[in-house]
Structure 1
């Protein structure tokens, strides 16, 4: 039974691992920004870039799902 769903499990775990990676990157960035006494504009710029990267990853996943599922 596991071999039937191997690709789905692999895809799910890959997406989960990337989500955890984004979380860890966010925590590291927050720590660096606090310790570095970064101005407010710089903090906002950093968080916008991080958010856009995550949004791009989510958009890729949604587009990939739509294409693979055959929804037109």
Structure 2
């Protein structure tokens, strides 16, 4: 039964790994920003860049899933 769903299990595991990676990156950035006494504007810029990076990754994954399911990719 697992052999039928191997590709989907791998994809879920990969996306879970990426989610944990983004979480750890966010925690590391938060720690560096707190210890470095970064001004509020600088913190907002850093978080905006991280946020847009995550949004880009999520949109890429959604586009990939849609294309694969429609037979394009």
| TM-score, normalised relative to structure 1 | 0.95
CA RMSD of aligned residues (A): 1.4
- Structure with the bigger RCO (C-alpha within 8 Å, sep 6+) is 1
Distance in 1 (alpha carbons) for counterparts of 2:71 and 2:51: 27
* Alpha-carbon distance, 1:41 to partner: 1.0
Count of residues in correspondence between the two structures: 72
**Displacement over 3 Å in runs of 4+:** none
Q: Which residue of 2 aligns with 1:48?
A: 48
Distance in 2 (alpha carbons) for counterparts of 1:21 and 1:60: 17
Distance in 2 (alpha carbons) for counterparts of 1:3 and 1:57: 28
| TM-score, normalised relative to structure 2 | 0.93
Q: Which runs of 5+ in 2 are unaligned?
A: none
